[in-house]
Amino acid sequence: MSCHPDEASNASAVVPNHNLWYEWFFFGLANETPQEPTMTTRRAECQCGQLSATCSGEPYRISVCHCLACKRKTGSAFGFGAWFRQSDVLTEGNATEFVRVGDDGGHVTNRFCPNCGATVLWSIDTLPGVVAVSAGGFADLAFPPPSVSVYHQSRRYPWVEIRAEPLEKRG
């Protein structure tokens, strides 16, 4: 069981569809009502604000993780991550890296603020091209809910209830 919701076999799900833009472009031409594509941009920050991740578009997956490492990383009951393509995330500020070996053997690289200690991003070498952004860093109550709950049965505090629907419960 991995604490990261996507196995490498699913990585193709995040490869951009290069035809999409052209489809939009020609669809717009055909209807003579071309529109600018709207792109949501969100910014996650550390506590002091010097380290940030500006994310374009919607995350392709949002997950919570109840593993013990996520508890220790956050000091809280579970981790909360929004996964984006690396190319859709602009990181600004100074980050210190901490690397640990994940349950499935991959190397998890956490990037945190050396000033305030908050983790803003993490990635795993078995999932190239994607990055998780600490979803709490957006500090946005309207942020979309998770669709995956990892270590849901085995390591979730018994008083924690994740009410998002639909919710894939793993482990």
Name which of 23 and 125 has its Cβ closer to Zn ion: 125
121 is an interface residue for Zn ion by CB under 5 A: no
Name which of 28 and 145 has its Cβ closer to Zn ion: 145
What b-and-e string marks burial along 119-157, b requiring 16 or more CB atoms within 10 Å of the CB?
bbbbbbebbeebbbbbbbbbeeeebeebbbbbbbeebbe
What's the min distance (Å) between Cβ of 15 and Zn ion?
A: 25
| DSSP-assigned letter for residue 165 | S
Q: Which of 86, 115, 126, 147 binds Zn ion (CB under 5 A)?
A: 115
Q: Per-residue x/- mask for Zn ion, residues 69 to 98, rule CB under 5 A? A: -x--------x-------------------
What's the min distance (Å) between Cβ of 63 and Zn ion?
A: 9
46 is an interface residue for Zn ion by CB under 5 A: yes
3 is an interface residue for Zn ion by CB under 5 A: yes
Name which of 1 and 116 has its Cβ closer to Zn ion: 116
**Tokens (6 digits) for 97:** 């890296």
What's the min distance (Å) between Cβ of 107 and Zn ion?
A: 14
Residues within the interface to Zn ion (CB under 5 A)? 3, 46, 48, 65, 67, 70, 79, 113, 115-116
